[in-house]
Structure 1
Amino acid sequence: MSRLDGARLGWAPIALAVVVADQLTKHWAVNELVDGDIDLFWTLRFNLSYNTGMAFSSGESFGPIIGILALVVVVVLLLSLKRQPGRLTDVAVGLIIGGAIGNVIDRLFRQEAWFRGAVVDFIDFQWFPIFNIADIGVTVGGALLVFASWRASRVDPASLEPTPDTS
């Protein structure tokens, strides 16, 4: 595990991978889906959509607040790494931070004004809200973080005590 001044950085490559994958796929979607949807199989299709709000397109007039809240979540997650160590937590935090940053990039750079940009969504099951790679990172990371917290709470505190040296 990488350390820099006591900070754990195991989450960073995961966050970077999510941001890169998210931005590359959004770039592809913006350029390739302008002329129409691409049907893949069953109900899955690629369908270009822009979301100025949050989940399920709610809160469309709150773009700046949503962007700032996402950045606050990133800071809180980084601070939480000190309380709950472990690889699973690093993976979860990396996924969430990568997803949050991926969508904040859209809000910053696909814009008419500061934090008023729209998030590019394009993965469409037609029976579920349209989403993107960043949303997958946030959702899967959130579920993993809940699981990691639950697993950490089940550890017997007595098993964490050091064993006395008998030599």
Structure 2
Amino acid sequence: MAILAVVALCVYLVDQIAKVLVVSNLYEGQQVQVLGQLLQFHFVKNPGAAFSIGSGSTWIFSIVGVGVLGFVIWYAPRIRSTAWAVLFGLLLGGLLGNLTDRLFREPGFGVGHVVDFLQIPLLPAIFNLADVAIVSSMALFLILSLRGVGLDGRRAEEDDEFDDADAVAEADAVAEPEPEPVAGPEPVADAHERKNPQP
């Protein structure tokens, strides 16, 4: 739980600080090359979802974001795996970052525009660090699911091994015969009666 909270807080703070710097130093629509044609800053205000999808439906995304946020917080205490804690931390931090924009940025509460500023020319989208965290959590989810890692950190094969070991132990316990009781010495009275039976 602590790892999840730390990751979420780091993602949230880095995302919000980056957005404040972009809004303070760039004007909307401005493009600045960072790594040539590989990466550039392109400041836009996004009224839709991640990667500028669904523009004009900000209220819907705000409600969905609150719902998912509540689910993550409710589900978090069940996590016992470091990898899953990082996954949910990335998801929670990313959701909080974009939800903060929708709730508190212009043009108003619940319909605020998300600040996007990262652009890779090969991708038809402009995004932010919160989006990166959310996508990274999805990629980590696929990896953990394919490897069969559960919320407790154990893999499916390990669970099968434990189940097989329990089954073998139970089978051995059933197959092992119970020891027969050992007869003790006869009581003295019974032995005397057998030697001197009464007429």
Q: Which of the pair has the greater relative contact order for Cα pairs under 8 Å at 6+ separation?
A: 1
Structure 2 residue 140 is matched with structure 1 residue 147: no
Unaligned runs of 5+ residues in structure 2 are 170-199
User: 1:138 aligns to what?
Assistant: 134
Deviating beyond 6 angstroms after TM superposition, the runs of 4 or more aligned structure 1 residues are none
CA distance in structure 2 between the aligned counterparts of 1:117 and 1:17, rounded to whole angstroms: 23
Select 2:36's aligned residue among 42, 52, 60. Answer: 42
Q: Do the aligned partners of 1:15 and 1:99 also contact (CA within 8 Å) in 2?
A: yes
* Secondary structure in structure 1 of the residue aligned to 2:108: coil
User: 1:159 aligns to what?
Assistant: 161
Q: Deviations over 1:81-126 (max 9, x none)?
A: 4555300000000001000000001111112232110000001112
Task: Pick which of 56-65 and 126-135 moved more.
Answer: 56-65
Q: Do the aligned partners of 2:50 and 2:131 also contact (CA within 8 Å) in 1?
A: no
- Structural mapping, 1:51-70, within 5 Å: 51-70=46-65
CA distance in structure 1 between the aligned counterparts of 2:149 and 2:22, rounded to whole angstroms: 39
User: 1:19 aligns to what?
Assistant: 12
Aligned-residue Cα RMSD (Å) equals 2.2
Task: Pick which of 35-44 and 51-60 moved more.
Answer: 35-44
User: What is the TM-score with the length of structure 2 in the denominator?
Assistant: 0.71
**Once the 2 structures are TM-superposed, how far is the Cα of residue 160 of structure 1 from its aligned partner?**
4.2
> Using a 3 Å threshold, how does the CA distance of structure 1 residues 54 and 30 change in structure 2: closer, same or farther?
same
User: What is the TM-score with the length of structure 1 in the denominator?
Assistant: 0.83
Structure index of larger Rg:
2
* Secondary structure in structure 2 of the residue aligned to 1:152: coil
The number of residue pairs the alignment matches comes to: 157
Unaligned runs of 5+ residues in structure 1 are 1-7
**Identity value in percent:** 30
